[in-house]
Structure 1
Amino acid sequence: MKIPRSFLACFSPSVNEPSHLDDDSEGGSDGEAFRVFSGSELELATRGFNSWDKVGEGGFASVYKGQLRNGHVVAVKVLSIELESMRGEMEFVAELATLCRIKHENLVSLRGCAVEEGRRYLVFDYMENNSLSRTFLATEERRMKFRWELRSNISIGVARGLAYLHDQLKPHIVHRDIKPSNILLDHNFTPKLSDFGFAKLFRDDRSYVSTRVAGTLGYLAPEYATTGKLTRKSDVYSFGVLLLQIVSGQAVVDADQDTDRFLVEKVWAAYKANELVNMVDPVITNLSLVAEEAVRFLKVGLLCVQETARLRPRMTEAVEMLTNSSSIINDMEGVAISKPGFVADLRNIKIRQQIPVSPESNSSGTNQSLWSSLILAR
């Protein structure tokens, strides 16, 4: 991959004047080149990073709505000042390098970056409908606005974005942090996969064991959470959990329940009892007309969260199953689904040396719960 000259400018001690990437950059959208902004330009665009303009916040960054001098509305991601450490620098480089080289309808578009006085900024197209977690999962009232067609389109869009990362890009990319807050929605509710700070590039079909397990509890694949082994099937697991959540409208972890606290457990129990239809979100209008398709989506989700990683479908196969374009899925009744994995105890998460291992395969274990982002640093 050719790195344009202005990419390197992002890592100089200071940036006084905005600049542009070479013409062959893939980072922009709507034909615009990737830009290197000054910190003062972004401060002006966000009205001094006004708290009223904050549209998102996580453990490593805050996101602000802003308007550039040309009138374009953007989202400015400000990495934490505490991330002047090597860990923060590495994540900034990872996200920037990744987004500069990819372009897909279901992946967020990066417009530029800035570095000033140790601070790191990323500039994206602004997503009018925020994230899936804020727009869809926040309250029952908001979920009611998400008719089945919209949930279906979002699910398929996320699957297509992941399939592009996994199977169309060379080297392929494992995202490592698939969750509702990283699924952004534009004005048409088209889903855009975002936040590539933890992304891992794979130059062959090997998997890796790392001392640094990155992701969000509840969406982490069991073999990744317990051994550190990362493959594309790790993302497939996370997508499966997300899919179950979109269809059911339920939280990934229910802290008030003594048994079946995890959504994966609940859906599996319903599947075993032949009552999957009861897991479809009851606020969906015309539920009786879409129940069959919704149940098929739940089954695809269960296929993705199977404990044995090698049994999970690839994301391209998941897209085919969701769009009903796969011959093997014409009759979901004939598809065998094995039990899901989940890790209910944080003590089961292990740290090992980072070494390459054999091609994608399975590792027994159990899945995890979703309370906060997990970073086990070296």
Structure 2
Amino acid sequence: MSINFIILFLAASLPISTGQNGSVSCPLNFNVIRPLVGSNRPKLDIPFACRYARLGLQLVESDYLRRTNLFVPPPNTAESCWTAYQNLADDFFSSFDLRQNCGYQTDWIGSSGCMNITNRNQFENLIPKTSLNDVVRACNQSLSGSACSSCTLVLSSIQAVYLNGSSYGNLTDCRSFPFIYAAAFANQLGPTDRDTAVCLFSLDLDFTKSKNKHRTIIIAIASVIGAISLLAIAVGFWFYRSKKFAKIRRRRRNRRNESNTVSALDSITGSTTLVKFTIQDIKEATRNFARENIIGRGGYGNVYKGVLPDDSEVALKRFKNCSAAGDASFTHEVEVIASVRHVNLVALRGYCIATTPFEGYQRIIVTDLVKNGSLHDHLFGGYSSRGHLSWPIRRKIALGTARGLAYLHHGAQPAIIHRDIKASNILLDESFEAKVADFGLAKFAPEGATHLSTRVAGTMGYVAPEYALYGQLTERSDVYSFGVVLLELLSGKKALLEVENGKPVLLADWAWSMVRKGTPLEVIDSSMSECGPPEIMEKFVLAAVLSSHPQLYARPTMDQVLIMFDTDVPVPSIPERPIPLIAGLEDIEKSISSSGSGHLATPRGYQAYSTFEMDAQMMTNEEENEEEVENEVVEDEKARLSGSR
């Protein structure tokens, strides 16, 4: 089915005369979509046609809201709107009934789809002024690239907190109301701006632009190749031959690496429900890796939002390091995520490995899309959403994170140590259910082993001292990181509080000082909109302080943490902390330097640490560690196999 069918279907000027059965003409202006239409007419199947019809209607209703302060037109106009749709459809296709094929009901145009909200005043009376200001601050700009992610994150948070009532009988339900409102009033460019339409309504139907851009890239690449060829001929036949032989050797080596990766992944796919996506599938899902679809960045590469043919939304982690070490890391992460399945772990859909003439080697992991951002976004983001995290929501996040880690440590076989638990790796869905993510540093723990001796990796502020000092890794190293994250969740403060005499002060040390003074509730975030029973909040503070204790023996297991959270079992007495943990940072640095691991921050890193840059990765240059990463993956595989036996 043609995209132009849907767009013309939406963009048609509706009849002015009275419709059938006494209905009046529809006041919606579908012409506002016309500028978004390109000249191409690619084929579009019925599910996509229905999806674009629904999204296009949301854009049109946003324009209607902007003009009239009403979310939906009068109910008696519904039939005339659908009649105009159907008449246009009949001009292009015979026997295509939009309502029958898509399951749409006539009264779904003209009736409120969210909590009986019909106009702007009702919406604004429901949402606090501070939250509306957050929307304006995040969305009143050109919504391309990262600006789109910031805007949609605020809108999703508002929907989850304030518009969680019943949705019924409309194509525009509670999930779409904040987006319709933001396009109408928060964004000065309005819903008809192309970036706004793409970001808030996922409508980018001008395929001519992308095609011309692709053609320009091909021409540019062809020109460069031609120039290089002429230069090679000018330099001489000998140089040409040497480059040719070097290229052949490189191709053989890369094919050998790719063959090993494919073999390892195929063995995983054969025993799971993973989907092996083609590179064409990935490009269609991400609109050829469009910049506006980037929702995250890291040392490994970018994360893109994508839409699969079944209309489900996914996140695609695209690795930029495609050397032998990159293949080993990629295979390792796929293997770890594929081996687990839990409601509090990000679910893996599949993967893609491909080689293309222009992009080279492609390594992509496809997971479910978690739309509500990370815990770090809500606690420390650029908008005031922290106060919206009430006690019930924070307790839910803490329990979900603990359950996910308990499954990794005690439910998975063999056990898995995450190694990088931090607020930015705790993702939240629309109902604030926690999802532990990013298994790039995870390791399998062989059964019966007291600990693993391995290089130090992770994020500063969250790494357990015995792991940082001696490279001794256990499940309780994750417990320490969980304790720090739990303190951040309870207090609204970062893992680093301030700087005293040029030295950073850790949140765990400060929280312990509050407990030792007998005032554990001083740890609780003062901006929390709704608090819980004091004895329960105090119990969570004590559990967090115990979990982040610098001495390994004092920490509970994740199973024990869950028992404390879910039952009346009290938190054990907390042993004295001999010295503030931060006093040992110099020793940690000396230990790492002498061992040659070099994965903790240097003194320059401590300077960044003291200026609140908490996401500095404690890893050396990727190229210098390729051989070490490969060896670790081999060791992990041996450990996993021995544990299985």
TM-score range, shorter chain: 0.7 to 0.9
1:329-368 Cα shifts (integer Å, max 9, x gaps): 1xx4x623332744434624516489xxxxxxxxxxxxx9
- Counterpart of 1:151 in structure 2 is 394
Match of 1:209 in 2: 453
Q: Does 1:125 align with 2:368?
A: yes
Task: Select the residue among 98, 110, 133 that pairs with 2:348.
Answer: 110
Please list the CA deviations of residues 130-187 of structure 1 after superposition, one character each: whole Å capped at 9, or x if unmatched. Answer: 2111233315611111111110011111111111111122210100000111111112
1:268 aligns with: 512
- SS at 2:401's partner residue? helix
Question: For the residues of structure 2 that align with 1:234 and 1:52, how far apart are their CA atoms?
Answer: 37
What is the CA–CA distance in structure 2 between the aligned matches of 1:48 and 1:208, rounded to whole Å? Answer: 42
Q: Pairwise mapping of residues 247-258 of structure 1 onto structure 2 (< 5 A)?
A: 247-255=490-498, 258=501
Asked if 1:34 is matched to 2:290, the reply is no
1:1-378 to structure 2, matched below 5 A, reads: 11-12=261-262, 21-22=269-270, 24-25=271-272, 33-80=273-320, 83-117=321-355, 118-139=361-382, 141-206=384-449, 207-210=451-454, 212-255=455-498, 258=501, 261-287=505-531, 289-323=532-566, 325=567, 327=569, 329=570, 332=571, 335-339=573-577, 341-342=581-582, 343-345=584-586, 347-350=589-592, 352=595, 370-376=614-620, 377=625, 378=628
Structure 1 residues 256 and 158: CA distance shift in structure 2, 3 A: same
Offset at residue 214 of structure 1 (A): 1.3
| Counterpart contact for 2:427–2:435, Cα < 8 Å | yes
- Contact 2:343 2:435 (C-alpha < 8 Å) held by counterparts: yes
Q: Indicate conservation of the 8 Å contact 1:10/1:36, yes or no.
A: no
SS in 2 for 1:373: coil
- Equivalents in 1 of 2:383, 2:314: separation in Å? 29
Question: Could you tell me how far apart the structure 2 residues matched to 1:237 and 1:85 are?
Answer: 33
Q: Could you tell me how far apart the structure 1 residues matched to 2:292 and 2:453 are?
A: 42
Q: CA, structure 1 residues 51+156, in 2 after alignment: closer, same or farther (shift >3 Å)?
A: same
Contact 1:107 1:194 in 2 (8 A): yes
Query: Could you say which structure has the greater relative contact order, defined with CA pairs below 8 angstroms and 6 or more residues apart?
Result: 1
Distance in 2, matches of 1:263 and 1:101, equals: 34
Aligned-residue offset at 1:111: 0.3
**Partner SS state of residue 574, structure 2:** coil
Decide whether aligned partners of structure 1 residues 237 and 348 sit closer, same or farther in structure 2, where only a CA change above 3 A counts. Answer: farther
Cα distance, 1:168–1:338 mapped onto 2, change above 3 Å: farther
2:393 counterpart letter in structure 1: L
- Rounded Cα–Cα distance in structure 2 between residues aligned with 1:78 and 1:230: 28
CA–CA distance in structure 2, aligned partners of residues 192 and 349 of structure 1? 34
Count residues with an aligned counterpart.
Answer: 336
The offset of 1:9, in angstroms, is 8.3
Aligned-residue identity in percent: 31
The change in CA–CA distance for 1:47 and 1:350 in structure 2 (over 3 A counts) is same
TM-score by length of 2: 0.49
Which stretches in structure 1 are left out of the alignment for 5+ residues? 1-7, 26-32, 355-367
State how far apart, in whole Å, the 2-side matches of 1:147 and 1:139 are.
19
Cα distance between partner residues in 2 of 1:254 and 1:336: 22
Whole-angstrom distance in 2 between the partners of 1:151 and 1:305: 18
State the superposition RMSD in angstroms: 2.6
Shift of 1:279: 1.4
- Residue 362 of structure 1 corresponds to none
Greater Rg over alpha carbons, structure:
2
Question: How far does residue 116 in structure 1 lie from its aligned partner after superposition?
Answer: 1.8
Q: Shift of the alpha carbon at 1:209?
A: 1.4
CA deviations 1:265-295 (Å, max 9, x no partner) are 21111112112211110011243x4333222
Specify whether residues 222 and 348 from structure 1 end up closer, same or farther in structure 2 by C-alpha distance, changes over 3 A only.
Answer: farther
Looking at structure 2, the residues matched to 71 and 9 of structure 1 have their Cα atoms a distance apart, in angstroms, of 32
- Cα separation, 2, equivalents of 1:282 and 1:139: 18
Judge conservation of contact 1:10–1:113 (CA < 8 Å) in 2: no
For residues 372 and 119 of structure 1, the distance between their equivalents in structure 2, rounded to whole angstroms, comes to 26
1:360 corresponding residue in structure 2: none
- Relative to the length of structure 1, the TM-score reads 0.82
Please identify, of 48-57 and 258-267, the stretch whose mean Cα deviation from structure 2 is larger. 258-267
Secondary structure of the 2:427 match is: strand
2:236 alignment partner in structure 1: none
C-alpha distance in structure 1 between counterparts of 2:551 and 2:296, whole Å: 35
Aligned equivalents of 1:316 and 1:281: distance in 2? 26
